[in-house]
Amino acid sequence: MYHQPVLKNRRTLLERAEKFISDIYFTDCNLRGRLYGDSCPLESIDSFLSSKRITFLEASQQIFAPHKVGDTFGPTWWTSWFKVTLKIPESWRGKEVHLLWESDGEAMVWRDEQPVQGLTKEGEKTSYILSDCLKDDEPHSLTLYVEVACNGLFGAGQGTFIAAPDPNRKFSVQKAELVVLNRDVRELLTDFEMLIDIVKELGEAEQRGYQALFTVNEMVNLCDPSDPSTFPKARSLAHNFFSQKNGESQHTAHAMGHCHIDSAWLWPYEETIRKCGRSWVTVIRLMEKNPDFVFTCSQAQQFQWVKSWYPGLFSQIQLYVKKGQFIPVGGTWVEMDGNLPSGESMVRQFLEGQRFFNQEFGILCKEFWLPDTFGYSSQLPQIMQGCGISNFLTQKLSWNLVNTFPHNTFFWEGLDGSKVLTHFPPGNSYEMKGKVEDLVKTVKNNKDKGRANHSAVLFGFGDGGGGPTQLMLDRLQRVQDTDGLPKVQTSSPQKLFSQLQSDSALLCTWTGELFLELHNGTYTTQAQIKRGNRQCETLLHDVEIASSLALCRDRTFQYPVEKLQELWRLLLLNQFHDVIPGSCIELVVEDALGYYEEIRSDGATLLLDACGVLGSKGDSTGVFNSLPWTRHEVVQIEDGAGKPGLALVNVPSMGFCPVKDTQPVAPVSVTVQADGTVVMENGILHAVINKDGTLASLCLINTNREAISEGCPGNQFVMFDDVPLYWDAWDVMDYHLQTRKPVLEVVQPAHVLSSDPLRGRVSFTLRISDKSTITQEIVMDAMCPYIKFNTEVKWAESHKFLKVEFPVRVHNPNATYEIQFGHLQRPTHRNTSWDWARFEVWGHKWADLSEHNFGVALLNDCKYGHSVHKNTMTLSLLRAPKAPDVNADMGTHHFTYAIMPHSGSFQDASVIQCAYNLNFPLRSIQCVPDIEPWSAFSVSTAAVILETIKQAEDRKGALVLRLYESHGSHVAATLCTALPVREAWHCDLLERRDPAQPAHMTSEGITINFSPFQIISLLLIL
């Protein structure tokens, strides 16, 4: 009698099973080689090449020429449209028939003038199902169109995928034919794959892994690839294995389809629209076949694009949203950067996003969804809560270079004490493939074992789109409850977070910012984008305030609702997390800068219209102040003959006045000394400027306190070598600090440009290299507590980093940085790895280093990268990466920063107000000569800043005001207004009135109590 040998060699059994389903080895006799049955060529393929992305209607009317499979087309970013005629053989009745299409460009199949299927080889989608089981009454002859983009899922990088695109790349269709898919082979292959992966992932230490090994080996014994009648027995073995259930305590993986689509990155905005179409139409096809399949999808902007480009698809999406399968998440206009947008911009991301989702789908998102952003501001929890969101999902901190973040599920507490339930999927990915590896990782990596027993598994190709596949769904379906693996349930964000919330008693709390220890170069890369963002945020702030005040002064004034929404949406789009950080290709940079120009141009027109109403359309010169405090500043004016001059004006808060020149308490003096140094003085500051433009001394006159370190001049430009490990536009590494070289070569030494009692100007030029120079104007104004440095850099470097340093006479283990609606402290030492990892940090309009009763603030008008180490304050100015944009930052740059020594705390010294003043210039308006100075709003305490005034979204003639506490204190404030307010109510950030919270109105104004860094919105009914 013959006995089968007992095989004990794990490797041979495992490799035998792997080869049995390999698509490389033994395909003549293994199972994989039987996946497709008969094939049949297409009747005809014709093509037409377009340099533009055009509609189906336009494409279908073009003249198509015969095309041979294998012929190349291009170049990059063009589109090749194919007209495909096909005839399915009668003999394929009862069979599953596919159009097999393999191309290195992303493709969309169109049928009956509608998009029906996305195809991309990189996204493992290479076939369009023509029939699941061919019947006589189905069409056997068809004409389809296939739109092929001349780019892959990740653009067209030359060499590496993040390199600048190759502009001349050619593309081809490698396969285009009709095939019969053997569904029984496909199902059996999935069984084999899952069992093999269980063997590999559970390893030799787990008994369950060996059970999978012997099961899969026995399946190979039973299965004859050439005899389908042997398949059921093999499948039965697999089914028995998968059906052996877990215990009740096993971890649960909440599986959700996902398709992260960067709104622009290695491809332009316009290509993203097609990526959304290709990815989402494929999701709809999967939903038709899999009624339990749930797909999560963020970014209202992308829904808006699909609505206007693919209206039929959008209607289908609305249907599946109603069914609860297609779930809009996130609540924001785009997945924005988490560091650089202003507080008001972040509010508008949610306001625009939530309103869009509510209007189009009747829902408001309950979770913020930001899986791929380079750090998270500590004001986000409060902003989320104010927009009706109490849950947050991301995973990016798994990319930390230095420290491992200690949690996956926890409460995140923000700057003001607001808390949100936060989940980082422990698989450390937002684009899993439904594989055993993903499930094992999810359990193993969970850092909150014993505290949280549920995790998200987000599956689907991402970044460049693609999304889930049927194979991913089949994999997960096999192991819904299989001993040795976590339980898998089709889920939704709402189900996941409800479960986490109900089990949250033992969860830990993380307080403060979620700082990503990587990608710190994105605070500086693409300086023109950073500048465009800051300037446009400022402009829209001023337009809204001027328009709101114009509305109150003249009820016939039309508040520009539609135009402002359009401009805000452009600004919000550019805050996408690969655009404002500068980690995108040159085409995207060009688009972004074009959008900023549009905002500047249209915004200037809107401002002019509103200011015309404020000034009663006169022809004298007046000044408009959009900030909530009186400003005593020097402004540039023109006299009657059009000759430029200066005036010191006193402008009321959030209002205007005619130009009436006042005399400064002390005039500005500029004196050249015998040794060539220049002394500048204005009664507040005394500065000594060296011939090379550095600051030898900066003295605060009233306390006789020197700000600059002895022997170390301020305003010292320094260059660093800037070669990261890989992510060029993204990263600056700690070792760059070891390559510091001061910029020392003087082209033109410091000399006096002008000396006026109201303004002194000193200029100098330095050479960085034979390709790059710095020219700077140092400006001291009368009555101004800071010195400005107006800077022009001609920049043509490669992998260099330019910064400016101010070593100051202050000692403190912590420095303070402005963030959205507040500020936070970070260490100036490098004691621990957590401190060291913050060698380069982000901040907004100011950073401050103070000790008791004295400090120095560094202000800026468009920079975000900072560093304060020991007593040296550094502002990051320019980088020169070469990927993904080979011309990043090349050209001429203009920016301003300022140094402000102060006595007392930075709060008491009005550092916050001065930084606002630097960023929000007083605006010249035309007014009637006898116009009275007018102030619309003021606030009784400097701690509270009135940040925003706008017309309410849903109520004409009502205003929404946004205020925040800026000092970090409990304070009662009175908001005074000249406007006729009938009612005042508290509202949330989505402008929903709180009927339980009328604002307290007195004869003095509206009184409001603030806690530290609290944001409060008011609805004023006039």
* Ramachandran category for residue 853: left, alpha or beta (phi over 0 → left; psi -120 to 50 → alpha): left
Active-site hit among 104, 197, 337, 372: 372
DSSP for 959-981 reads: EEEEEEE-SSS-EEEEEEESS--
Residues 6+ apart with CB under 8 A from 536: 567, 571, 596, 599, 600, 603
Strand order in the sheet with 923-927: 923-927, 620-625, 655-658, 934-935
Q: What are residue 46's DSSP bridge partners?
A: 66, 83
Strands 141-149, 107-111: pairing kind: antiparallel
Are residues 113 and 144 in contact, defined by beta-carbon separation less than 8 angstroms? Answer: no
Residues 6+ apart with CB under 8 A from 498: none
Give the pair of three-digit tokens for residue 410: 């926890």
Alpha helices of 479-558 — where are they, by DSSP H?
A: 493-502, 527-553
Q: How far does CA 838 lie from the centroid of its chain?
A: 20
How many other β-carbons are positioned within 10 Å of the β-carbon of residue 1022? 14
Q: What are residue 145's DSSP bridge partners?
A: 83, 110
What percentage of the chain's residues is helix, strand, coil (to nearest 5)?
25, 35, 40
Give the separation between CA 743 and CA 768, rounded to whole angstroms: 6
Instruction: Give φ, ψ of 881 to 5 degrees.
Output: -75, 165
Give the separation between CA 366 and CA 388, rounded to whole angstroms: 6
Give the separation between CA 416 and CA 469, rounded to whole angstroms: 43
User: DSSP code of 931?
Assistant: P
Are residues 263 and 531 in contact, defined by beta-carbon separation less than 8 angstroms? Answer: no
Q: Give Cα separations from 685 to 670, 809, 901 (angstroms).
A: 12, 16, 8
Is omega for the bond preceding 75 within 30 degrees of 0, making it cis? yes
Is omega for the bond preceding 884 within 30 degrees of 0, making it cis? yes
Residues 6+ apart with CB under 8 A from 184: 228, 231
How many other β-carbons are positioned within 10 Å of the β-carbon of residue 864? 24
Give the separation between CA 928 and CA 921, rounded to whole angstroms: 22
Mapped onto helix, strand or coil, the DSSP state of residue 637 is strand
* Ramachandran category for residue 122: left, alpha or beta (phi over 0 → left; psi -120 to 50 → alpha): alpha
Give the separation between CA 556 and CA 780, rounded to whole angstroms: 43
Q: Look up residue 885 and give its amino acid.
A: D
Q: What are residue 296's DSSP bridge partners?
A: 258, 327
Give the separation between CA 390 and CA 410, rounded to whole angstroms: 12
Q: Look up residue 695 and give its amino acid.
A: L
Q: What are residue 873's DSSP bridge partners?
A: 806, 868
Clarify whether 197 is annotated catalytic: no
Task: Give which of 680, 729, 681, 691 is closest to 713, Cα–Cα.
Answer: 691
Are residues 863 and 912 in contact, defined by beta-carbon separation less than 8 angstroms? Answer: no
Give the pair of three-digit tokens for residue 235: 């499948």
Give the pair of three-digit tokens for residue 1002: 């007195």
Are residues 494 and 149 in contact, defined by beta-carbon separation less than 8 angstroms? Answer: no
Give the separation between CA 983 and CA 1021, rounded to whole angstroms: 5
User: DSSP code of 860?
Assistant: E
Residue located via tokens 């404030």: 973
Provide the annotated active-site residues: 372
